[in-house]
Structure formats: structure tokens, C-alpha cells
Amino acid sequence: MKNKPQAAPTAIKKSAGTKVFNGISYVLLAFGAIVCVLPFIIIVSGSFTDNVTILKQGYSLFPRDFTLEAYRTIFRSPKDIIQAYKMNVYYTVVGTSIGLTMIALTGYVISRQEFKYRNTVSFLIYFTSIFGGGMIPWYLMYANVLNLKGHTLAIWFPALMSPFLVILMRTFIVGAVPNAITESAKIDGAGHFTIFFRIVLPVLKAGLATVGLFLALGYWNDWYRSSMFSTNSSTWQLQFYLYDLLNATTAMKQMASNVSMKTADLPTESVKLAMAVVATGPVLLFYPFVQRFFVSGITVGAVKG
Amino acid sequence: MKKKWICGVSALFLILALPFFSRIVIVDLVGLFSNIGVTREMAADLLTGYNLFNILSFVQYSNYGRIGLFAMLLLLLMIACVYFHIAFIIRTLMGARKNKGELDILSAGKLAFIFEIITAAATIAFVIFSNIKFGIRGFMPTVWVYIELLLAVGAYVLIKVLEAKERKKYNEHGLLHEIKKNWPLFIMLIPTFVYFMINNYLPMLGVYFAFTSFNFRDGLFASPFVGLKNFEFLVKADLFRLTKNTILYNVVFIGIGNILQIFFAILVSRVASKWYKKTSQTLMFMPYFVSFVILKVIVYNVFEYQHGLINNFLTSGGAERIDFYNTPSYWPVLITLFYLWKNIGYGMVVYLATITGIDNEIYEAAKVDGANEVQQIWYITLPHIKPTFIILLLYALGSIMKGQFELFYQLIGNNGVLFNITDIFDTYVYRITMTQPLSIGLGTAAGLYQSLFGFLIIVLVNYLVKRKNPEYALF
């Protein structure tokens, strides 16, 4: 990017129209940002609000009758949630590391000019995103053909790769490693594995980070593979544990109201919110540190290379 | 010209592919009766000879699902043969392309004959397979199958010889040579190959379930073959509603989504303060990181009847409560809103990357010429982000028949009151998978229709884009 100091925007006197335009930009952006953050505030403040207050007066933007009761309730018997956390970390780490390796290798291969079938392979990978057998054959493949129902493999294997991430990775590799460099390495006698590990990987940090984060985010937030393949609650993903808890508390409340019993002694509403905070916590905690990879890194390219 | 001769063989195969030529004959009708329980009345409908196009009708009459998948594969193979023969003949008639000589033509011919060989071999295998399954010699392949096999092998060898000559001339190599030269690249692709085989390509065989009345008792591929019954039922029941919902939601998502994403990306790019730029970007991207289960919590808290934020607000202002969860008409708007809430930041970042890539000097020049902000955006920014927009649009169109499953399922769940207006293919199929194992054939049919329809749309759109400007085409 060229930046001429003498041509900086401040050098030219801003017209009234520009000022108005800028003012509107600031206001609209602030509005957009607030709308995006608002729901988080509702959840967090709700989790700190006394359950009786929620039941009587409903949810609100700021915590009223501040209390830690909901969090105490959760951590009074933390065995289940710790198990769900452990499983989620396991799925995320295993899935992301294996998936990222596979995606990087594939991205490297389909970015090689000398690889004659690069466009064919790209298309065959992309093809899976526009045509498929549908959810049921996919489910039966894992559940009945491979017999993986209840196995943790069925949770992390299906999400190892996606056409979108492969193409994203290829774009990164093409951008980070000019063909001339790998060509000269080849002339010096380097094989493809050497080129990949010694030349491509070291300069691919941004690509690995971005694709890896997409993978990790997908694993962390997933719930539906548990809903399909888990037979035992000890292998549940965190989000599915949360999902089940939400439905269970609803059911509990239903039952309580049926027998006209007070639900007040169990802080159901605020517990739900506190659970949501606990489940999202790590993502939002990491977010400020990793968001720059997303913010600078996502470009889209065509399937053909 | 040897090529013309081979083309003649191709034409002969096309004639042989016509439905008048039986490939399989029934030699032991009585035996079949006793073994698979075909009744006398059904026998009147049975033919004595079958070609590969109507062999499925036998499977359906006989109610014997075990050979259904095989028969369907035969049908697909036959169609592939016809397709490649036609392609071969057309390419031959059109003549050679300059840069690669006749290699294009020959590869089409090679494919045609390979498929012909496979089809013939598969037909024979089918006969053996079903005879074993029935436990008698009920079927025989006709003489046409053997002729087909011999001719195809001959033609294939001939084409190979021609191709070797051409290859030498143009210095093009075949697959084997490529593997020898770049074997590490092929090794690197093995895990990917295994993954996509298991996760995507092998399950495609399962679309066969769409043509069966599936049940687990008979086993995956042995349920009775019912032809297009599932599709007929779908057309009568849910197909129109599901198609309409899925496409309408996606059109709205894509349309409003892209407009807002571009809008906010331009705003961010126009703001001078670095801090403001970064903060607003970070905050607007945040919802993308929230799982859909959390989204469900949020939506529930805002729209719940008793304690929801909005109803809380309404009652404190003296107004009536709104029963969102029992009023379908609110949900298209709500779903769209939350889709936008979750996805604006993401698309905004993609567009912003393109906008930052625009050379600043263009804007400076425009300013000197007296262009105001709106003119700069209209004449500089928008034309520059057009390629990004088109590519995003094409990717989105590729999945226009797929819904935002997690969004819909978490927001609506099993709330039947809202199904009519919020049910999309993915939620419909998911419910069938999880709760109605007897309707699996139906669910697969819905999935297959969804997949085919979406596939045709993207292929058509991509073709049109390619004709207009090949630069923008996705593939």
C-alpha cells in the first residue's frame, strides 16, 4: 500500500458534506456494534440476577438483585459440566490438529502448478458441497455401515475438512509462497515433503491460524453430531450438554407447574444463563487475541486455480 | 481415418442401448416364482427379457430389494455409456482442438468404452449375483452383452494405440506417468481421499434408499424397491412448501445479508479513527463465534411469553403481551434478523479485505476531480468489490437448497405450531432421521430432491456467468 504523506485526508479541507457523511458513518457503526453486543449483555446480566426477580419481573438489560447463586448452583456438582468440557477440548484438539494437517497438505497439492490434476481435485472437493446423498445416507454410513454409533470417532471425524476451508487454505498458500521459490527449491533437489515442511509451513502461519481457528470454532460450537451419534452422556459435546440441560429445565419447570409446586428453590432461569456464559466463556476469552486473524485473513477465491 | 471407424462402433453401441435389445432374459420363471414369492397375477406383468432400463421394474414387481441397488447402478452405468458415446461422436464431428490435438476426442472415446466394458461386465456380474441370491439359475445374459464386451475391449485397445501416438506428439502424459513423477503429491492426498470417500462420496450410494420403502429389519440395501412412490408422496405432501420455504429464506438471507455486509464494510473503511474501526469490527464479528445453542438461549430470553425481555417491556408500558412462540407470522422476520445478527460481521470482514486492497490513489484522484463521498463509493468502491460479490453469490447459490439447519432447528426446535412457515428441507429430514425410522426412504427422497435441485441451479448459473465473463466463473 502506498501512502503519500502530503496527500493525507486531513491535508484537503473537508467539505460540509464529507463531515455529515462521516458523522453518519460513526453513528451507524456504533448502532450496529451495540445491536451485536446487546444479547451478550442480556445473558451475562441475567446470569447474575436473582432467579426470583427474573421470574417476577422478567429479563432485563442490567443485573438487578445481584447474586452469584446461579454459578454456585452449577459448581455445586460440577462433575457433569467438567466432563462435557473435557470431551469438548478433546474433540476440538484432536479434530483441529488432524484436520488442519490434512487441509494444509491438500491445499499445498492443489496449489502446485506442476500437478496436472489440481483443478480436477479442487472440483471433486467442491462438488461435495453442491451435491450429496443427504443427511440420512450420511448418518447411516457412520451409524450402520461403520458402526460408529456411541464412538467418539463419529463426533470428530465428520468435521475434519470442508471444501470452503481447503479452498481458503489454497488461497493462503498461493499468496504466501510464490511458485518461483518452490521451483528453485526443486532444482536444488528438494522433494515435495521437504518443500512443504521446510519452505511452505514456516511462512504459512496466518493461513494455519485462520483455518485452524475456523476448524476449532466449528468443533467447539457443534452439538448435532452428539445428538445423532452419542449413546452415552459422558461423551457429549459441551453444546449438546447445554442443549439438553436447557430442554431438561424447561421440562422440569413444566413438571413443577403441573403439580403446582414452587420452582423457586431451584434457580432454573438464571442457571440456564450462567451455563450459557460458562459454555461460551473460552470462545469470548480467546476472541480478542485471535480475532485479528479472522479480520485480516479471509479472502475468497474460485474453485479452479 | 481409424477414428471414424471407432466412432461407427460408438454409434453401434448407441443403437444397442435402445430398449429393443434385451440384456437379461428370464430362463426359469417357475423357479423365480417359488423362490421369491411372485404371484400368478404378477407374472402376467413380468417380461421374459429385460434391458438395463427396465430391469428395475422387475425388482419392483418381484418385491425383492436385495438386487435393487445393483440394478440401479446398472441403469446409471448405461446412462453414462450413452452420454459418453454421444460426447465422443459430437467431439469427433467437431474436429480437433489446436493445442492438444485429438487427445480431447480420444479421452472422451476412452471413457465411453471403459464404461461400456464396465457395464457389460457388471451385467454379467448382476446375473451371477442374482442367481446366487435366488439360489437358482433364473437369469441369463443375452448374446448382446458378450458382443458388447468384445467390441468395447477392441475399440478401447485401438483408442489406446491412437492415444499413445498423440501423446508422444504433444508431450502429454497419462495418469501413471504423473503418479511416477509426483508420487509425494498423491501420497499427501490419500487422507483427504479417504475422508471425502467416507464422508461424502460413499454415502451418495445411499440415495438408493429414496427408491425403497426403507426398514432396518431387511437391512440397509434389501428393503423393497418402490420406484418413485416416495417422491409422489412428497409432491403431494410437503415438497412445494419445503422448496418454497428453503429458497425464500435463502434468497432473503443472501440479498439482505450481502447488502448490509457491503454497507457496513464501506462504513468501516470510511471511518478515519483506527481505534473506532477496530472496535466496531471486533464487536460486529462477535456473534459469529456464538454457538446456535446459545443463540437459542438469547432468543428465548428475549421473546419468551412470561419473562421475556420484550413482553416484560410491553407489560411495564401497559401493553398486551405477545405470544411469539405460538404465532408463526413473526418467525420469518425473527429468523432473518438473527441470521443477519450472526453473519453480518463475517461477510463484512470479507468485503473489507477487498476494499482495503483498492489503491488509495484512485480515491485521491477522484477527490481532486471533486467527487464527493457518495460518488467515490458508487464509482470506485462498488465496482471494485463486484468480483468478490459475484464469487460470494455463487458460493451461496451453490447451497441455496441447503438451509441454515442449526439456526432453524435451535430457534424453532420441535415447535409444531411454527412448522408450516419455518420448516426447511434440513429440519424436515433431521426430524425424520431422529424420530421416524420408518420414513427414512421419504427423508432420503427429500434430501435427494434437495441435492439435485441445488446442483442444477448452481451448474446453470455458473454456466451463464462463464459465458458472460469466464473470469468470474466459480468452476
Q: Of the given ranges (A273-277, B164-168, B464-468), which has the lowest mean pLDDT?
A: B164-168
Cα separation, B85 vs B108, whole angstroms: 8
Cα separation, B474 vs B35, whole angstroms: 53
Hey, are the CB atoms on A58 and B308 less than 8 Å from each other?
Answer: yes
Among all residues of chain B, which has the CA nearest to that of A162? B196
Hey, are the CB atoms on B430 and A131 less than 8 Å from each other?
Answer: no
Do the Cβ atoms of B25 and B48 come closer than 8 Å?
Answer: yes
| DSSP string over B21-78 | S-SEEES-HHHHHHHHT--HHHHHH--SEE-TTTHHHHHHHHT-GGGHHHHHHHHHHH
pLDDT of B192 reads 96
Hey, are the CB atoms on B188 and A105 less than 8 Å from each other?
Answer: yes
The answer, for B209 touching chain A at a CB cutoff of 8 Å, is yes
The answer, for A285 touching chain B at a CB cutoff of 8 Å, is no
Hey, are the CB atoms on A298 and B353 less than 8 Å from each other?
Answer: yes
pLDDT of A80 reads 81
Does A246 fall in a domain? Answer: yes
> What is the residue whose three cell numbers read 436473582?
A50
pLDDT of B40 reads 65
Find the length of chain A.
305
**Structural domain boundaries, residue A123:** 74-305
Mutate to test the interface with A, among B197, B300, B301, B394 (most CBs of A within 10 A): B301
Does A140 fall in a domain? Answer: yes
Give the pLDDT confidence of A196-219 residue by residue, as tens digits.
999 999 989 888 988 998 999 999
Q: Which of B192, B361, B475 sits opposite A304 (nearest CB)?
A: B475
pLDDT of A8 reads 44
The answer, for B333 touching chain A at a CB cutoff of 8 Å, is no
Burial string for A213-241 (b: 16+ CB within 10 Å, else e) reads bbbbbbbbbbbbbbbbbbeeeebbbbbbb
- DSSP structural state of residue B320: P
Contacts with A132 from chain B: Cβ below 8 Å: 200, 203-204, 451
Give the domain-ending residue among B172, B196, B220: B172
The answer, for A20 touching chain B at a CB cutoff of 8 Å, is no
> What is the residue whose three cell numbers read 397375477?
B41
Q: Where are the alpha helices (DSSP H) in B197-308?
A: 229-237, 239-270, 274-285, 292-303
Hey, are the CB atoms on B282 and A141 less than 8 Å from each other?
Answer: no
Q: Give the number of other CB atoms < 10 A from CB of residue A203.
A: 14
Query: Which residues 196-225 on chain A approach chain B with CB closer than 8 angstroms?
Result: 196, 217, 220-224
- DSSP structural state of residue A13: P
pTM (predicted TM-score): 0.89
Give the pLDDT confidence of B321-352 residue by residue, as tens digits.
888 888 899 999 999 999 999 999 888 988 98
The answer, for A143 touching chain B at a CB cutoff of 8 Å, is no
Contacts with A224 from chain B: Cβ below 8 Å: 405-406, 409, 430
Give the pLDDT confidence of B97-129 residue by residue, as tens digits.
666 667 778 888 888 899 999 999 999 999 999
Hey, are the CB atoms on B188 and A304 less than 8 Å from each other?
Answer: no
Give the domain-ending residue among B127, B152, B172: B172
Give the domain-ending residue among B139, B172, B205: B172
pLDDT of B68 reads 87
Quick one: average pLDDT of A250-271? 57
pLDDT of B44 reads 66
Does B313 fall in a domain? Answer: yes
CB-neighbour burial class of residue A163 (10 A; exposed 0-12, middle 13-18, buried 19+)? buried
Whichever domain contains A93, its CATH number is 1.10.3720.10
A-B contacts at Cβ under 8 angstroms: 309
Hey, are the CB atoms on B448 and A58 less than 8 Å from each other?
Answer: no
B149 and B284 together in one domain: no
B280 and B144 together in one domain: no
Cα separation, B14 vs B8, whole angstroms: 10
Q: What is the dihedral of CA A83, A88, A91, A92, to 10 degrees?
A: -150
Which residue type sits at B95?
G
Q: Which residue has the higher pLDDT, B72 or B100?
A: B72
pLDDT of B208 reads 92
Give the pLDDT confidence of A6-42 residue by residue, as tens digits.
444 444 556 777 888 888 899 999 999 999 998 888 8
Cα separation, A277 vs A87, whole angstroms: 18
Q: Is B1 helix (H, G, I), strand (E, B) or coil?
A: coil
pLDDT of A7 reads 43
Query: Which residues 247-266 on chain B approach chain A with CB closer than 8 angstroms?
Result: 264
| Predicted confidence (pLDDT) at residue A191 exceeds the cutoff of 80 | yes
| Predicted confidence (pLDDT) at residue B142 exceeds the cutoff of 80 | yes
Å from B393 to nearest chain A CA? 11
Give the pLDDT confidence of B387-434 residue by residue, as tens digits.
889 989 998 998 898 888 999 999 888 888 888 889 999 999 888 888
Give the pLDDT confidence of B50-63 residue by residue, as tens digits.
887 888 888 887 77
Q: Tell me what the pLDDT averaged over chain B comes to.
A: 87
Whichever domain contains B426, its CATH number is 1.10.3720.10
B297 and B392 together in one domain: yes
Contacts with A136 from chain B: Cβ below 8 Å: 206, 209, 429, 432-433, 440, 443-444, 447
Q: Give the residue among A140, A291, A235 at the shortest CA–CA distance from B203.
A: A140
Number of domains in chain B: 2
And the C-alpha cell for B28? 426359469
Give A25's contacts (C-beta < 8 A, 6+ positions apart).
Answer: B267, B270, B271
pLDDT of A28 reads 93
B165 and B263 together in one domain: no
Q: Which of A21, A191, A221 sits opposite B373 (nearest CB)?
A: A21
pLDDT of A267 reads 66
> What is the residue whose three cell numbers read 445481584?
A66
B130 and B260 together in one domain: no
Q: Of the given ranges (A72-81, B133-142, B378-387, B391-400), which has the lowest mean pLDDT?
A: A72-81
**Structural domain boundaries, residue B93:** 2-172
Does A259 fall in a domain? Answer: yes
Does B230 fall in a domain? Answer: no
Cα separation, B350 vs B387, whole angstroms: 12
| DSSP string over B229-253 | HHHHHHHHHTHHHHHHHHHHHHHHH
Q: Which residue has the higher pLDDT, B40 or B95?
A: B95
And the C-alpha cell for B175? 495418469
The percent of residues above 90 in pLDDT, for chain A, comes to 37
pLDDT of A10 reads 46
pLDDT band at A1 (very low <50, low <70, confident <90, very high): very low
Q: Of the given ranges (A121-125, B12-16, B191-195, B253-257), which has the lowest mean pLDDT?
A: B12-16
pLDDT of A2 reads 40
Does A40 fall in a domain? Answer: no
Does A4 fall in a domain? Answer: no
Cα separation, A220 vs A159, whole angstroms: 11
pLDDT of A86 reads 93
Hey, are the CB atoms on A105 and B283 less than 8 Å from each other?
Answer: no
Does B157 fall in a domain? Answer: yes
Q: Give the residue among B376, B315, B87, B57 at the shortest CA–CA distance from B211.
A: B57
B164 and B281 together in one domain: no
- Half-sphere exposure (CA, 13 Å, Cβ side) for B76? 10
B375 and B251 together in one domain: yes
Among all residues of chain A, which has the CA nearest to that of B406? A224
- DSSP structural state of residue B140: E
Give A176's contacts (C-beta < 8 A, 6+ positions apart).
Answer: A200, A203, A204, A206, A207
Do the Cβ atoms of A272 and A251 come closer than 8 Å?
Answer: no
Give A261's contacts (C-beta < 8 A, 6+ positions apart).
Answer: none
Give the pLDDT confidence of A45-66 residue by residue, as tens digits.
888 888 778 777 777 778 877 8
Quick one: average pLDDT of A82-100? 95
Q: Is B101 helix (H, G, I), strand (E, B) or coil?
A: strand
Cα separation, A241 vs A234, whole angstroms: 10
Hey, are the CB atoms on B206 and A108 less than 8 Å from each other?
Answer: no
Number of domains in chain A: 1
